[in-house]
A and B are shown apart, each in its own frame.
Chain A
């Protein structure tokens, strides 16, 4: 049976056409934390010589995951938009592997949510990218 949390998570993803286009799967979204997976797809390749996924696709994954973390925070009224997002690319993601992002909204005020995230492939001990972002806090 679908729980209330599952329903909120599913509705969040279903409502975002671009998350659908990139095949994102949300596996956690509660209390200011979110986790989203994105499978490898040849259409998302940025470096044709190595088959490594484009940084832009990782940005989209990070942005979606950070937004999900922000609106799932208990103090968030439920709507958000990105104000600023910085991504550090530590190493290329291994071609063929699913990329998983985990985000945490570590502080929220009436106006701003502060979020950080990291993305990993199968080798979770060596993150692919880190993100830091600020998001608007808006009512429903």
Chain B
């Protein structure tokens, strides 16, 4: 059976990384908090580099609870958008060049977000990964975990519900 030759790896990587960068760079608040994303295949890890302005309690010191909430919410929204975008990107339904030119998909809107603070956030880098537990036409439910030095000792976790952007077509 004839099978088309797979694309060269650097072409695939470049397309995916450019799409992710366009998605993340489009949101000013992600840059304000200093959050970036690393990609392995379709899996994203959010990284928030430590900065003094993220501190809530300077005596401990500890990250601000609002920073933790924001970091997890950013990870959820980008994770959810990426999972939608991934399929369109791989199927060719979305042109990566249009994305990098600023034609970004509408982002999901947060309906509610509940953060569970497990330990105080230390004054160092933090990581988070989101898992889309359900993604329907209108609503999605996402769980996210944040950790610092030790992946098995999360400092916070959250669950949120999101209103999906209309996919007119």
Contacts and interface: CB of A to CB of B under 8 A. Distances in A.
Is A bound to B?
yes
Contact of A63 (B32, B53, B66, B107): B66
12 contacts: A15-B59, A17-B55, A43-B31, A45-B29, A57-B29, A64-B56, A84-B115, A85-B115, A86-B114, A88-B111, A89-B112, A89-B113
A20 B54 CA distance: 10
Interface string B100-114: 000010110111111
Contacts of B12: none
Given A56-B73, A83-B117, A44 B28 contact: yes
Interface string A78-94: 00011111111100100
Contact of B65 (A47, A48, A53, A85): A85
B74 interface: yes
Interface of A: 15-21, 42-49, 53-57, 59-64, 67, 81-89, 92
Interface of B: 26-29, 31-33, 52-59, 62, 64-67, 69-71, 73-74, 77, 104, 106-107, 109-117, 120
B112 to A, nearest CB: 5
Given A43-B28, A55-B73, A81-B57, A18 B113 contact: no
B27 A54 contact: yes
A16 to B, nearest CB: 6
A58 to B, nearest CB: 9
Contact of A85 (B31, B33, B56, B69): B69
Contacts of B56: 16-19, 63-64
Contacts of A18: 53-56, 64, 66-67
B27 A63 contact: no
Contacts of A62: 66
Contacts of A19: 56, 64
B27 A46 contact: yes
A60 to B, nearest CB: 3
A59 B117 contact: no
B73 A48 contact: no
Nearest to B115: A85
Nearest to B102: A48
Contact of A43 (B29, B59, B74, B109): B29
Most chain B CB within a 10 A radius of its CB, from A42, A61, A81: A81
A76 B67 CA distance: 24
B69 A60 contact: yes
Nearest to B69: A59
B48 to A, nearest CB: 11
A83 B156 CA distance: 10
Contact of B70 (A57, A81, A92): A57
A63 B112 contact: no
Given A21-B53, A55-B110, A56-B70, A16 B29 contact: no
A49 B106 CA distance: 8
Most chain A CB within a 10 A radius of its CB, from B55, B69, B114: B69
